[in-house]
Amino acid sequence: MKKIRKAVIPAAGYGTRFLPVVKSIPKEMLPVVDKPVIQYIVEEAVASGIEDIIIVTGSNKRAIEDYFDHSLELEHYLEKNGKTEQLEQIKKIARLANFIYVRQKGPYGNGTPVLNAEHIIGDEPFAVLWGDQFTSAPAPRLKQLIDVFEKHNKPVISAVRIENKSHLSRYGVPAVEKIEEYVYKVSKLIEKPAPEEAPSDLALDGAYVLPPEIFEILHQLKPGKGGELWLADAIDILREKQGLLCCEVEGGKYHDCGNVFEFLKTNIETGLLREDIKEEFRRYLKEIVEKN
């Protein structure tokens, strides 16, 4: 079995929920405390053994490319002023992985950016991670998926357990049968079901490990909902051909940064984990609550 070395991060969407700021700043570059959302995703991939990061972008996403490149003028300034810790911090960003950028071409839908990376992926299994959401866990989410893929040699999707079942209507929800601890066989995928119709309390959280056969399926796939090309439709066909597993992320905490309310929650939760600011931040939040 070939080692999983490559990850695709679709990042071409407009992010209209965050207008007007995304008129000039990619939604993937919005900060969670002091790092852009996409950096959390890249760091997860690298910690999981990924070497090549393929970011599928649009014409308004140059800031992503600039961010993961060296900034010689800034590096010179930091070095000149003796800011060695900050200098190493920004140099490390450019050294995280091999970054490859592809402009999205083709029909709308989240299947298109995956198909756009076919010529780079070739005949290797690979990962897909959405660029506006991440899941924190003691062991990286993607590493958990890769371990399941390598053990069972089947495509794997990632999920987290949702305690409040009324929230299941926000997510894709799999019908599952338990194989082993945290690993399930998927018999069906339902997109945004009514809570009473949800087949499980697991919600897909935007990470996949897929075989190269997904590309042929995407080539033949007819546009689905809204006339767009959907990765979920292709994965459902793949499930019929090869089977499909779901990995519940052990200890996973899902952070959806694709809408304003969840983005604000993610910033608060992440800030409360920062050793350098958490105590002062906690006191500040308590003051706000008491005043209101």
**74 inside domain:** yes
The tens digit of pLDDT for each residue in 26-58 reads 999 999 999 999 999 999 999 999 999 999 999
Range of 188's domain?
A: 6-258
232 within a domain of the structure (yes/no) = yes
Residue 91 in contact with residue 45, Cβ under 8 Å?
Answer: no
Model pLDDT, residue 59: 85
Rounded-to-integer distance, Cα 219 and Cα 222, Å: 8
Give the per-residue pLDDT at 227: 83
Name 133's bridge partners.
256
CATH code: domain of residue 75:
3.90.550.10
Whole-number Å distance between alpha carbons of 237 and 166? 28
Cα dihedral 150, 155, 157, 158, rounded to 10, equals 0
pLDDT of 163 reads 83
Residue 57, in any domain of the structure = yes
Q: Which pLDDT does position 258 carry in this prediction? A: 87
Residue 186 sits at φ, ψ, to 5 deg, of: -100, 130
Cis peptide bond N-terminal to 36, omega within 30 = no
Q: For residue 247, tell me if it sits in a domain.
A: yes
Name residues whose C-beta falls within 8 Å of residue 11's C-beta, 6 or more positions apart in sequence: 26, 28, 38, 55, 56, 57, 58, 61, 64, 113, 131
Q: How many domains does the chain have?
A: 1
Q: Interior CA angle at 152 toward 158 and 255, to 5°?
A: 10
Report how far residue 217's alpha carbon sits from residue 53's, in angstroms, rounded to the nearest whole number.
Answer: 23
- Residue 228 within any structural domain of the chain: yes
Arithmetic mean of pLDDT over the chain: 93
State how far the Cα of 196 lies from the Cα of 15, in Å rounded to an integer.
30
What would the two tokens of residue 62 be?
Answer: 């140059």
* DSSP β-ladder status, 126-129 and 202-210: antiparallel
CA distance 69 to 94: 5
Helix, coil or strand: residue 288: helix
- Decide if 288 is inside a domain: no
* pLDDT at res. 115: 96
Number of residues in the chain: 292
The pLDDT profile of the chain, 292 residues, written as one tens digit per residue, is 778 999 999 999 888 999 999 999 999 999 999 999 999 999 999 999 999 999 999 988 999 999 999 999 999 999 999 999 999 999 999 999 999 999 999 888 899 999 999 999 999 999 999 999 999 999 999 999 999 999 999 999 999 998 888 888 888 899 999 999 999 999 988 888 888 888 999 999 989 999 999 999 999 998 888 888 999 899 999 999 999 999 999 998 999 898 899 999 999 999 999 999 999 999 999 999 998 8
9 CB-near residues (< 8 Å, 6+ apart): 38, 41, 42, 45, 53, 54, 55, 56, 128, 129, 130, 131
pLDDT confidence of residue 8: 98
Position 47 in a domain: yes
Q: What is the pLDDT of residue 193?
A: 86
Q: What global pTM score does this model have?
A: 0.93
Is 290 inside a domain boundary? no
Q: How far is it between the farthest Cα atoms of the chain? A: 62
